[in-house]
Amino acid sequence: MEAIGVLLMCPVSNYLEQELDRRFNLFRYWNQPRPREFLAQNSDSIRAVVGNASAGADAELIDALPKLEIVSSFSVGLDKIDLNRCREKGIRVTNTPDVLTDDVADLAIGLMLAVLRRICMCDKHVRSGGWKFGDFKLTTRFSGKRVGIIGLGRIGLAVAKRAEAFDCPISYYSRSKKPDTNYQYYSTVVNLASNCDILVVACALTPETTHVINREVMNALGPKGVLINIARGPHVDEAELVSALVEGRLGGAGLDVFEKEPHVPEELFGLENVVLLPHVGSGTVETRTAMADLVLGNLEAYFANKPLLTQVV
C-alpha cells in the first residue's frame, strides 16, 4: 500500500522528523525553493499537515491541498491554523495540550525571578569579572508579590499554583469568572493590571487578545510592575512596550515570545530590567518528546480510524 503523504511545515524535533519519515511519505515544506509549484505537484498525495507555533495551516495552504484530512499541530496554540476553514472542509485538527503545561509555567516563574532578582545581570557581573570591583546592587523581592494572570487555562492555572507557593496573592482576567477557584477575578485587563505587581499573559492568541497588552494596560501596571509573556508575541503591542520600558513607565518585562519572531526590537537589548528568551516555553527534551508522540499518536489514530487523542476540530 502506498505510504500516506504528510507535509511537515518547518523543522521541529529530530525525533518527530525521523518518526514521520519512517511511518509516512514525508514532504518537507521549508526545503521547497518554489512552494506554490511544489504544492501543485504534490497536492494529490498530501493527506496530513504537521505544523507548529511558527508555521501552521492557513486558508491558502488548506485550499491548495484538496486531499487534506488532518492538521496535527506540534503546539497547543492554534493561532497559525485557520480553524474555520478546517471546519468548513471537514478537516480534523489536533494539538499538544497538557504535556507542555508544567514546562511553560516553570519558565514563567523563572522569568519572574530572573527579572526581579536580575539573575542574568548577576551572572554577567560574575562572568565579566565585575564582582572583583564591587558587589551587585540590591534587587527586588519576588515572594509575596501580587500576580495577575490573563487566561486561567491550563498554563495560567499552573502558573497560579506555582506562584501561590511563593505566597503571591493571585488574581486573573478571562472571558468568564471561574466558579472553581478562589482567586480574585477582574472583568477587565486594565483593572487586573492596576491591582497586581506582575502581570502574566497566558491566554490563547485570537483577534480579541491581539494587543491585549496596550499602552493603557502598561500604564496601569506602572513603573514598578513587571510584564511576563509566555503566550504569544502579538498579545503585546511591542512598540508600546519598548517606549514604556525606555521611558520608565513599566518596571520590567520577561518575554519568551515576540511579535515578529525571531526578530526582537534591539532597543530591548540594553535594558537590564528585561529578560529575553527565544520562545523556549516547552523546549525541554522531555516535553518535546511527549509533544512529538502526541502528534504521531493523533496521525496514527486518524489513519487507523480510531478516536483522536487530542482533537480540537
By annotation, the residues acting in catalysis are: 232, 261, 279
Quick one: which of 91, 75, 89, 116 has its CA closest to 231? 75
Give the residue with the Cβ less far from ligand NAP, 49 or 99: 99
104 touches ligand NAP (CB under 6 A) = yes
Residue 60 backbone phi and psi in degrees, to 5 = -65, -45
Q: How far apart, in whole angstroms, are the C-alpha atoms of residue 222 and residue 229?
A: 16
Contacts of 126 (CB under 8 A, 6+ apart): none
Residue 177 Cβ vs ligand NAP, minimum distance, rounded to whole Å: 9
Task: State CA 4 to chain mean position distance.
Answer: 30
Residue 200 Cβ vs ligand NAP, minimum distance, rounded to whole Å: 11
DSSP 311: B
310 touches ligand NAP (CB under 6 A) = no
Among 5, 56, 97, 233, binds ligand NAP (CB under 6 A): 97
Among 231, 242, 275, 294, binds ligand NAP (CB under 6 A): 231
Contacts of 247 (CB under 8 A, 6+ apart): none
Q: How far apart, in whole angstroms, are the C-alpha atoms of residue 222 and residue 241?
A: 12
85 within 8 A of 62, measured Cβ to Cβ? yes
Per-residue x/- marks for ligand NAP, 262-301, CB under 6 A?
-----------------x-xx-------------------
199 touches ligand NAP (CB under 6 A) = no
Residue 303 Cβ vs ligand NAP, minimum distance, rounded to whole Å: 26
Give the residue with the Cβ less far from ligand NAP, 26 or 220: 220
194 within 8 A of 220, measured Cβ to Cβ? yes
Interacting residues with ligand NAP between 49 and 78 (CB under 6 A): 76-77
Within a 10 A sphere around the Cβ of 12, how many other Cβ atoms?
A: 22
Give the residue with the Cβ less far from ligand NAP, 134 or 207: 207
235 within 8 A of 208, measured Cβ to Cβ? no
Quick one: which of 133, 149, 142, 137 has its CA closest to 167? 142
256 touches ligand NAP (CB under 6 A) = yes
Interacting residues with ligand NAP between 153 and 182 (CB under 6 A): 153-156, 174-176
Give the residue with the Cβ less far from ligand NAP, 94 or 101: 101
Closest residue by beta carbon to ligand NAP: 153
- For the stretch 215-225, what's the b/e string if a residue is b when 16 or more beta carbons lie within 10 angstroms of its beta carbon? eebbbbbbeeb
236 touches ligand NAP (CB under 6 A) = no
Give the residue with the Cβ less far from ligand NAP, 153 or 265: 153
CB-based burial label for 109 (10 Å; 0-12, 13-18, 19+): buried
Interface region with ligand NAP, contact rule CB under 6 A, candidates 82-90, 131-139, 152-160, 286-294: 152-160
| Residue ranges that bind ligand NAP, judged by CB under 6 A | 76-77, 97, 100-101, 104, 150-156, 174-176, 202-206, 208-209, 230-232, 256-257, 279, 281-282
